[in-house]
């Protein structure tokens, strides 16, 4: 977390992780959120990709969200500890049409909780996204009650049904996570924002390492 005051405006920079199984729609959600764009074409993310979303949160607060789009295939890799470092919030994404992607959610949540925490040791606020909600749902994704229960058991701050394709609940879920992060942050730390230009985003966007239904469960 970092803060600075630029021309009367308070700026916050937050690192937010987006994780979940292969093909669940992480990249699509980020593309929709940041670039207002959707494609049916699937190209698996390799390693990690980045995107930056700038939010004019209120009259004098600007929030810069640095979104880390972690490849689904990374769960068994050793890199997640490096990727997760200093994150202050996360989305775990699953695909409502494939219950196996929901069954993998506890492993992603446990991976997060074992590798990253807030400075005071609490888990980082994490929101579960039930994506592809424009499609027929499989398994417990079809039951709001069961999803509420699951979300609570797993320690998520909330869950949202999303569709990157139809632009459903993308802004809402992000706003919810940002409000949780701001609540927890409470402007307590006055540090300097690292220059975002120093984050090495190469031309192809790869990082070089140097409701509908939501419950606030």
Q: Does residue 45 belong to the site contacting ligand GTP (CB under 6 A)?
A: yes
Q: How far is the CB of 81 from Mg ion (least distance, A)?
A: 20
- The binder of 28, among Mg ion, ligand GTP, none, by C-beta within 5 to 8 A per type, is ligand GTP
Interacting span for ligand GTP (CB under 6 A) from 110-118, 128-136, 142-150, 185-193: 128-136
User: 63 vs 163, which CB is nearer to Mg ion?
Assistant: 163
Interacting span for ligand GTP (CB under 6 A) from 19-27, 51-59, 175-183, 188-196: 19-27
- The binder of 132, among ligand GTP, Mg ion, none, by C-beta within 5 to 8 A per type, is ligand GTP
Interacting span for ligand GTP (CB under 6 A) from 54-62, 105-113, 159-167, 174-182: 159-167
Determine the angle formed by the axes of helices 26-35 and 170-185, rounding to 10 degrees: 90
Q: Which long-range contacts (CB under 8 A, 24 or more apart) does 47-54 make?
A: 47/71, 47/74, 47/79, 47/206, 47/207, 48/74, 48/79, 48/83, 48/206, 48/207, 49/205, 49/206, 49/207, 50/199, 50/201, 50/205, 50/207, 51/205, 52/196, 53/174
Other residues' Cβ atoms within 10 Å of the Cβ of residue 161: 22
Q: Does residue 137 belong to the site contacting ligand GTP (CB under 6 A)?
A: no
Please state, in angstroms and rounded to a whole number, the distance separating the CA atoms of residues 90 and 108: 11
C-alpha angle 42/45/47, rounded to 5°? Answer: 170
User: 61 vs 211, which CB is nearer to ligand GTP?
Assistant: 211
Q: Does residue 27 belong to the site contacting ligand GTP (CB under 6 A)?
A: yes
Q: Does residue 45 belong to the site contacting Mg ion (CB under 5 A)?
A: yes
Please state, in angstroms and rounded to a whole number, the distance separating the CA atoms of residues 117 and 201: 25
Q: How far is the CB of 49 from ligand GTP (least distance, A)?
A: 8
- The binder of 173, among ligand GTP, Mg ion, none, by C-beta within 5 to 8 A per type, is none
Q: Does residue 27 belong to the site contacting Mg ion (CB under 5 A)?
A: yes
Other residues' Cβ atoms within 10 Å of the Cβ of residue 160: 25
Rounded to 10 degrees, the C-alpha dihedral 180/186/187/190 comes to: -100
What residue ranges bind ligand GTP (CB under 6 A)?
22-28, 39-40, 42, 44-45, 71-72, 131-132, 134-135, 163-165
What residue ranges bind Mg ion (CB under 5 A)?
26-27, 45
């Amino acid at each position: 977390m970092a803060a600075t005051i630029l021309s009367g405006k308070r700026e916050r920079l937050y690192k937010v992780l987006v994780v979940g199984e292969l093909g669940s729609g992480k990249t699509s959600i980020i593309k929709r959120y940041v670039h207002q764009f959707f494609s049916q074409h699937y190209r698996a993310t390799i390693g990690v990709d980045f995107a930056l979303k700038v939010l004019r949160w209120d009259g004098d607060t600007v929030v810069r969200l640095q979104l880390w789009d972690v490849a689904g295939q990374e769960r068994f890799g050793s890199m997640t500890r490096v990727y997760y470092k200093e994150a202050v919030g996360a989305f775990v994404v699953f695909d409502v049409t494939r219950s196996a992607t929901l069954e993998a959610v506890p492993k992603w949540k446990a991976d997060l909780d074992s590798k990253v925490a807030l400075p005071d040791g609490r888990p980082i606020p994490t929101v579960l996204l039930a994506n592809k909600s424009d499609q027929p749902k499989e398994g417990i994704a079809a039951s709001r009650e069961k999803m509420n229960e699951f979300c609570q058991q797993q320690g998520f701050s909330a869950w949202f049904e999303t569709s990157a394709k139809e632009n459903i609940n993308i802004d809402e879920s992000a706003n919810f996570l940002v409000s949780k992060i701001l609540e927890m942050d409470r402007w307590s730390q006055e540090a300097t924002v690292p220059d975002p230009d120093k984050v090495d985003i190469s031309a192809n966007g790869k990082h070089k390492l140097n409701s509908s239904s939501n419950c606030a469960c």
